[in-house]
Structure 1
Amino acid sequence: MTTTRASYTDAETRMTRARAQRLGVNRSRDPVEVVRDLVGVQAQDMPSARLALRPRTIGVTAADVRKCHDEDRTLVRIWAMRGTLHMVAAEDVGWLVGLLGPVFAAADQRRRDQLGLDDDLLDKAMPAVRGILGRHGPLTRADLVERLDAHRVRLDLKTQGPAHLVGYAAMTGLVCRGPDVEKGEPTYVLVEDWIGKQRTLEGDGALAELTRRYVASRGPVTPDDFKRWTGLPARQARHGFALVAEQLTEVETVSGTAFVLKGTTRRRPRREPAVELVGMFDEYLLGYANRDLVLDPRFAKRIQTGGFVKPAVLLDGRVVGTWSQKRTAGKVTITVEPFEDLTEVGPRLAGVVRDVGRFLETNSELRMGEPQ
C-alpha cells in the first residue's frame, strides 16, 4: 500500500519550523529545557544568546539566563556546531565536543601551523593549560597567556595565536568558557572542574542523537540543512539521517522532499498574524541551508552584513524588517526598520517590545521607521 506524503505550503513549513523552535508557542519556563531542545544557541555575542530565549520562554529574564551560566552551571559555552561558540546544556557538552571537536580541530590545523602552533607546542601547552586553570581558573585569555609564559609557551596577544590555542583546547574537550568579567570579557575554565563528569556517546550514537534532535527542533529539514547547520561533511550528514530514518517522516514542501520527526503536527498560520522579534544570530535564521523560505532575497543584505546576522522582525515566520536596541538609564528603545507596511500589526508589535523590556528588566519604547 502506498502512503501519501503530507504536502506543506511555504506558510505551513514556516509555521511548523517556528513551533519546533518554540518561537512564540510551546514556550517553557525553563531556559535550560529550551536550550537542550534546540541543541545549542549561537553565543559569540552573549547578550544575543540570552535574548534568543525570550520568545521561547515564559517569565524568564536575561538575569535568569546569566545565572544558569555563571552560577548554576547548567548552561555552558563551548565551540560546537560549525566550530562556532554555542551555549548548550551542560549535560550535552561531552558528547557534542566528542563528535564535533575533532572535525573542526583538524580543519583549523593549517591556520594553527601558520601561527606557530605546531604539534610540539600543543603537546607542551595542553598540560600547562590544564595545570594553570586547575589551580587558578577562571582566567581571562590574557591572564592565561601570561601564566603560560612560565611554562615556555610564549604567545603574542596581538596575534590570533592565543585564540586558536584556546579554541584547540576547547575542541579537544579540555576547556570551556567560564563566567564573563568586566565589560563582558570571557574567562576560561576546565570542563571537568566547571561541570564535572560528562555523558559520553560514541561514534554513530552521538551522530544519531544530534540528527534526531536537530530534526525535532527545526523540521521540516533536509540533510543539506543539517550539513550547513553542523558544519559536518555531506557524507556524514547524510549518514546521520540514515541512522534515524525509522524515526522520521518524509513530507513534501514547495522546495522538495524534507523530513520531520514522526508525530510532528503540521502547523497552519493563525487568523491573526504572529509577530515576533528575534535577536542577532537567531537559530531561526541560522538553522537551515538558505533563508529564501523566510527572507525575500531583495532584503538579504539588510539582514546579513559580513559575518553578522542582524536582529529580525518576523511576521508569520517571514522576515519583514530589522530592529535594534539602544539602552539608556531606565529604558531600552527598540527601533524597527520595516521592509513593508506593518501598521496593521502595530499593537501586537508594541506588545512584543514591552516583553523585551520585561526580559531586560527595564522600561521599553517602540520607534517605527518607514518601509524601505
Structure 2
Amino acid sequence: MGDERRYIGVAERRARLALRHRLAGTARAAAPEDIARSLVALHGTDPATVYLAVGARLTEPATTVSATDRALYEDRTTVRMHGMRHTVFVFPTDLTAVVHASTGLAVAARERASLVKDMAKAGAPDEAWLKEVEESALAVLGRRGQATAAELARDEPRLREQFVYAAGKSYEGVHTVSTRLLRVLGVEGKVVRGRPLGSWTSSQFRWALAPEHPELDAAAAQAELLRHWLTACGPATEADLKWWTGWRVTDVRRALAAIGAREVELDEGTGYVTAGDVAPVAGPAQPWAALLPGLDPTAMGWQQRDWYLAPELRPALFDGSGNVGPTVWWDGRVVGGWAQRADGEIVWRLLDTEGIGREAEAMIAAEAERLRGWVGATRVTPRFRTPVERELAG
C-alpha cells in the first residue's frame, strides 16, 4: 500500500464530500441513477429517505418522485434490497451481484438457519416443508409480477401458518411464515421490494423477483464493493470501512490489499484511498448548503464523523439508537437540523453558528424553499425521530 503517506486534512475531506456526494450546486446530478452510483447506496430503511436524498442532489428537484419511481419500478436501473449490516438500501442494479456476494451470503445463511431453528423449537413443519412453500411462493410471484404478502398467501395458503417465537421468554411472540420467509428470501437475493401500496413515503411494499445476476466470488465481490465505496467516500479509516460494510476486520484488510489501496494520514490516524486517488482535490468554487434527510448516506457514511459533525451536536441530531435525523449542512459540515410542520412549512435551526453569516443563512433558506417546492402537499415524518426534529415539527 506504499510507505509514503500524504496528509489529507478536514478541508480536503469536505471538498471531496461536496463533489463526490453531489452536494455542491455544480455537482448535482440529472438522474437518480447517477446519484445512487455516486453514493454506492441510498439508505432505504425509511422509504422517504431515498426520495429526499435524491431530491437534495438533483439539478431538477421537481422531477424527484417521478424520476425515482421510474428508476426503481419501470427501468429497474436501481433496486431496493438488503445490503450491508442487514440494512435495506437502494443500489444501482449493476451493483446488486457485488452486494449480494460481498455482504448478503453470510447474513442469508444465518437468517435461514435461525428461521429453521425457531420453527423447529415451536414444533412447526420441517425444513423440507419450508422449502416447498418457498418454491411455491416464488412461482406465484413469478406469475403475478409483484404482490403483497397477503396476495401471495391467497395463492399459497401455507404462508399464513403461524408459530410461536421464543416461547416462555419476555419477548415471546407469534410469527407468520410469510413474514420470516420473505425476509430470508430478501437477504438471499431472491426477492426485492417492489412498488409501495401508497405514496412514496409508504413503508408497505409489494414484493418482486430479484433481477437475475451472476454468482460472484465473495472475496472478489468484497474488493469490488470496497473499491466503489472508497471512490465515493475515501479517505476512510479501517474502523469506517468495518462499520460501513459490517465485515470482519480480516475481510476489510484483504479487500484493501486486493485493490491496492493507498495509505494516507488523517487526523484520526491512518486512512485509505484507492490507488489512483492520492492527488489533492480542490473544492467547489462556491460554498454550498444542503438539507439532508434522516439516515442520509452522507451523514451516515462514516463511523468517525468529527470532521463534518461536531460531537456536541449529536444529542440533538441522533436518536437513542444512533440514527441521524434531518440535518442542515453548510460548506461541508453539519450546522443544524430541520423538520416539516403539519402545514408543510420546512423549518430549520442552526446549532453551530461558527462562520455562518448572511450568505449562509440565505442559501440554507433557499434550500428549505427548494425542498418545500417539490415535496408539495406530502407530509414527511422521519421513521427515527430526534430531539431537534420533534421540537421543530411541533
TM-score by length of 1: 0.85
How far apart, CA to CA, are the structure 1 residues paired with 2:228 and 2:7? 22
2:238 partner amino acid: P
Map 1:196-275 to 2 at 5 A: 197-245=212-260, 248-261=261-274, 262-263=276-277, 265-267=279-281, 273-275=287-289
Map 1:317-336 to 2 at 5 A: 317-326=332-341, 328=343, 332-336=344-348
Inter-CA distance 297–121: structure 2 relative to 1 (3 Å threshold): farther
1:15 partner amino acid: A
2:262 partner amino acid: T
How far apart, CA to CA, are the structure 2 residues paired with 1:155 and 1:22? 46
- Aligned twin of 2:10: 10
1:275 partner amino acid: A
Inter-CA distance 72–155: structure 2 relative to 1 (3 Å threshold): farther
1:46 partner amino acid: P
Structure 1: 5+ residue stretches without partners:
none
Inter-CA distance 233–109: structure 2 relative to 1 (3 Å threshold): farther
Inter-CA distance 292–142: structure 2 relative to 1 (3 Å threshold): farther
- Aligned twin of 1:282: 296
Map 1:114-153 to 2 at 5 A: 115-116=118-119, 119-149=127-157, 151=158
Inter-CA distance 160–152: structure 2 relative to 1 (3 Å threshold): closer
Deviation by residue 1:310-357 (Cα, 9 ceiling, x = unmatched): 0111122222111112364xxx31111321335532111112123213
Q: How far apart are 1:153 and its partner, in Å? A: 6.3
Q: How far apart are 1:30 and its partner, in Å? A: 2.2
**Aligned partners of 1:42 and 1:281 also within 8 Å:** yes
How far apart, CA to CA, are the structure 1 residues paired with 2:177 and 2:87? 17
Q: 1:86 aligns with which of 73, 86, 89?
A: 89
Percent identical among aligned pairs is 25
**3-state SS of the aligned residue for 1:288?**
coil
Q: How far apart are 1:200 and its partner, in Å? A: 4.7
Moved more, 140-149 or 312-321: 140-149
Q: How far apart are 1:106 and its partner, in Å? A: 3.1
- Aligned twin of 1:23: 23
Structure 2: 5+ residue stretches without partners:
121-125, 164-172, 380-388
Q: 1:175 aligns with which of 191, 210, 225?
A: 191
The answer to whether the aligner puts 1:338 opposite 2:350 as a matched pair is yes
**3-state SS of the aligned residue for 1:337?**
strand
- Aligned twin of 2:167: none
Map 1:28-67 to 2 at 5 A: 28-59=29-60, 60-67=63-70
**3-state SS of the aligned residue for 2:235?**
coil
The answer to whether the aligner puts 1:154 opposite 2:156 as a matched pair is no
Inter-CA distance 23–107: structure 2 relative to 1 (3 Å threshold): farther
Inter-CA distance 98–249: structure 2 relative to 1 (3 Å threshold): closer
- Aligned twin of 2:182: 166
2:58 partner amino acid: T
1:108 partner amino acid: E
Q: How far apart are 1:271 and its partner, in Å? A: 7.8
Inter-CA distance 116–338: structure 2 relative to 1 (3 Å threshold): farther
Deviation by residue 1:82-109 (Cα, 9 ceiling, x = unmatched): 1111111122223322332212123435
